[in-house]
Amino acid sequence: MLPDDNAEIDAAVRAVLRDVLGLSEERVGAFRSQTPLFGALPELDSMAVAGMLTELEERLGILIEDDEVDGEMLETFGALVRFAATKANQ
């Protein structure tokens, strides 16, 4: 079953960040809405962004177009979850 409620989507995004960036459960568990991502996490380089987008697509059953990817949705954990939730509920 693909996650479709916001708590599940939040959990899925945390799991993707944990898996793609190799972060601990504690560390991703501590992410809050304003936690900065791209530019702040050294682990999140161009290959990691690509991997993260693909894992999100696969786990949430969504499709992310290149032109939807911008600095804004990558800026904070909250922005990324909101983006994922919007796509999952389309």
Partner 1 sequence: MLRFGPAIGPVVIAAMPLFEEANRTRAFIVTVLRALADRGIASVLPDLPGTGESLIDTENASLNDWNIALSSLTENIGAERGAVHGIAVRGGALIDAPFASRWHFAPIPGESLVRDLLRTRLTGKDSADDAIELSGPPVELAGNRLSRTLLAQLKATVPVGTMPLRTVRLDSDTQAADRHVPGSPLWRRSEPDNDPALARLLADDIAAWIATCGG
Query: What sign has the CA pseudo-torsion 26, 29, 33, 36?
Result: positive
Please give the single-letter amino acid code of residue 88: A
Q: Is 59 in the site for partner 1 (CB under 8 A)?
A: yes
Tell me which residue has tokens 């530019």. 39
Select the residue interacting with partner 1 from 4, 5, 29, 50 (CB under 8 A). Answer: 50
Closest CA to 66 of 58, 57, 78: 57
Select the residue interacting with partner 1 from 6, 48, 75, 82 (CB under 8 A). Answer: 48
Interface residues with partner 1 (CB under 8 A) are: 2, 15, 18-22, 38, 43, 45-51, 53-55, 58-59, 61, 66, 69, 74
